[in-house]
Amino acid sequence: MSATTENTVHEMAAQKYKYGFTTDIAMEEFPKGLNEDIVRLISAKKSEPAWMLDWRLKAFAMWQKMEEPHWARIHHPPIDYDDLYYYAAPSAPAPKSLDEVDPSLLDMYEKLGIPLNERAALAGVAVDAVFDSVSVATTFRETLSKAGVIFCPISEAVREHPELVREYLGSVVPVADNYFAALNSAVFSDGSFVYIPKGVRCPMELSTYFRINAKNTGQFERTLIIAAEGASVSYLEGCTAPMRDENQLHAAVVELVALDEAKIKYSTVQNWYPGDADGKGGIYNFVTKRGACRGRNSKISWTQVETGSAITWKYPSCILQGDGSVGEFYSVAVTNNFQQADTGTKMIHLGKNTSSTIISKGISAGHSNNTYRGLVKIMPGASGARNFTQCDSLLIGDQCGAHTVPYIESRNMSAKVEHEATTSKIAEDQLFYCRSRGLSQEDAVGLIVNGFCKDVLKELPMEFAVEAQKLLSVSLEGSVG
Amino acid sequence: MPGWKPLEMTALPTRKLEAWRYTDLRALSAMSFGEVPNPPAPVLPDLALPRLVFLNGVSSENLSSAVPYARGFEAVAEPSAEPLALINAAHAQQGITLEIPAGVDAGTVLLISQAGGTVPFAFHPRHRITLGAGARLTIIEIAKGDGVYWHNPVTDIVLQDGAKLEHVRLQDESREAFNLSTIRAEIAENAAYEHFTATIGAKLSRTEIHAALLGTNALVHLNAAQLLTGTQHGDFTSVIAHKAPNCASRQTVKSVLAEKARGVFQGRIEVARVAQKTDGYQMNQALLLSPDAEMDIKPELEIFADDVKCSHGATIGALDNEQVFYLRSRGIPEAEARSMLIRAFLEEALEPVAQADAKALLEAEIETWWVKQ
Amino acid sequence: MLEIKNLHARIGEKEILRGVNLVVPDGEIHAIMGPNGAGKSTLSYVLSGRDGYEVTEGEAIYNGQNVLEMEPEVRAAAGIFLAFQYPVELTGVGNANFLRTALNAIRRKRGEAELDAVAFLKLARAAAKTLQMKEDFLKRNVNVGFSGGEKKRNEMLQMALLQPGLAILDETDSGLDIDALKIVAEGVNALRSPKFSALVITHYQRLLDHIVPDVVHVLAGGRIVRSGSKELALELEAHGYAGLEAA
ipTM for the complex shown: 0.89
Q: What is the pLDDT of residues B109-143, one digit of tens each?
A: 999 999 998 899 999 999 999 999 999 999 999 99
The conformation of residue C68, written as its DSSP 8-state character, comes to G
Tell me if B316 and A410 make a contact (CB, 8 A cut-off): yes
- Contact between A424 and B296 using a beta-carbon 8 Å cutoff: no
Contact B329 C76 (CB under 8 A): yes
Residues of chain B contacting residue A421, judged by C-beta atoms under 8 Å apart: 299, 301, 311-313
Phi, psi of C125, rounded to the nearest 5 degrees: -65, -40
What CA–CA distance (Å, rounded) separates B348 from C209? 44
Per-residue pLDDT of chain A (481 residues; tens, 9 = 90+): 333 333 333 333 334 677 777 777 777 777 888 899 999 999 998 899 999 999 999 999 999 999 999 999 999 999 888 888 888 777 766 666 667 777 777 777 777 666 666 655 555 677 777 777 667 677 787 888 899 999 998 999 999 999 999 999 999 999 999 999 999 999 998 889 999 999 999 988 888 887 777 777 778 989 999 999 999 999 988 877 777 777 888 899 999 999 999 999 999 988 888 888 888 888 899 999 999 999 999 999 999 999 888 999 999 999 999 999 999 999 999 999 999 999 999 999 999 999 999 999 999 999 999 999 999 999 999 999 999 999 999 998 888 999 999 999 999 999 999 999 999 888 777 777 777 777 777 777 877 888 888 888 888 877 677 777 777 777 777 665 4
**CB < 8 Å from A in window 313-332 of B:** 313-318
Q: From the list B288, B301, B308, which residue is nearest A404 (CB)?
A: B301
Q: Please name the member of A400, A410, A425 whose beta carbon is closest to the beta carbon of B288.
A: A410
Smallest Cβ–Cβ distance between B301 and the set A403, A410, A412 belongs to: A403
**Which segments of A147-306 does DSSP mark as H helices, in order?**
154-160, 162-168, 179-187
Average pLDDT of chain A, as a whole number: 85
CB-CB contact of A273 with A246 (8 Å): no
Domains of chain C with bracketed CATH: 2-239 (3.40.50.300)
Buried/exposed B4-15: b ≥16 CB within 10 Å, e otherwise: eeebebeebbee
pLDDT of residue A4: 37
Cβ atoms of B340 and C141 closer than 8 Å? no
Name chain C's partners: 3 or more CB pairs within 8 A. B
Q: Report the residue from A405, A414, A421 with minimal CB separation from B311.
A: A421
Task: Please tell me the distance from the alpha carbon of residue B157 to that of residue B85, in angstroms, as a whole number.
Answer: 14
Question: Smallest Cα–Cα separation from C70: which of C49, C101, C85?
Answer: C49
- Say yes or no: A71 contacts chain B, CB-CB below 8 A: yes
Nearest CA in chain B to A365: B306
Is there a contact between B338 and C73 (Cβ–Cβ < 8 Å)? no
The DSSP line for A310-368 is SEEEE--EEEE-STT-EEEEEEEEEE-TT-EEEEEEEEEE-STT-EEEEEEEEEEETT-
Q: Tell whether B307 lies on the interface with A, counting CB pairs under 8 A.
A: yes
pLDDT of residue A321: 97
Whole-structure pTM value: 0.86
The predicted model gives C83-93 an average pLDDT of 86
The predicted-structure confidence for C181-230, as pLDDT tens digits, reads as follows 888 888 899 999 999 999 999 888 888 989 999 999 999 999 999 999 88
Cβ-Cβ contacts under 8 Å, B321 against chain C: 51
Angle between helices C95-109 and B334-350 (to 10 degrees): 160
* Type of residue numbered A39: V
Does the beta-carbon distance from C91 to B329 stay under 8 Å?
A: no
Neighbouring subunits of A (3+ Cβ pairs under 8 A):
B
Instruction: List b or e across C113-123, with b for residues whose CB sees 16 or more CB atoms inside 10 angstroms.
Output: eebeeeebbeb
Say if A and B touch: at least 3 Cβ pairs within 8 Å: yes
Across B253-270, average pLDDT: 97
What average pLDDT does the segment C56-83 reach? 91
Position C245 scores a pLDDT of 53
Closest CA to B284 of B325, B242, B341, B225: B225
Chains A and C touch each other (3 or more Cβ pairs < 8 A): no
Q: Cα–Cα–Cα angle for B114, B116, B119, nearest 5°? A: 150
Per-residue model confidence (pLDDT) at position B234: 98
* pLDDT for the residue A2: 38
DSSP codes of every residue in A152-177 = EEHHHHHHH-HHHHHHHTTSSS-TTS
Confidence of residue B2 (pLDDT cuts 50, 70, 90): low
User: Nearest C-alpha of chain B: how many angstroms from C181?
Assistant: 22
Interchain CB contact of B105 with A (< 8 Å): no
Task: Inspect the interface and report whether the beta carbons of A419 and B318 lie closer than 8 Å.
Answer: no
d(C-alpha A356, C-alpha B111), whole Å: 46
Predicted pLDDT of residue A10: 34
- How does residue B160 score in pLDDT terms, banded at 50, 70 and 90? very high
CB-nearest partner of B303 from A395, A408, A420: A395
B152 CB-near residues (< 8 Å, 6+ apart): B84, B87, B88, B91, B122, B123, B124, B178, B179, B180, B181
Whether residues A402 and B289 touch (CB distance < 8 A) is answered with no
Whether A298 contacts A259, CB under 8 Å: yes
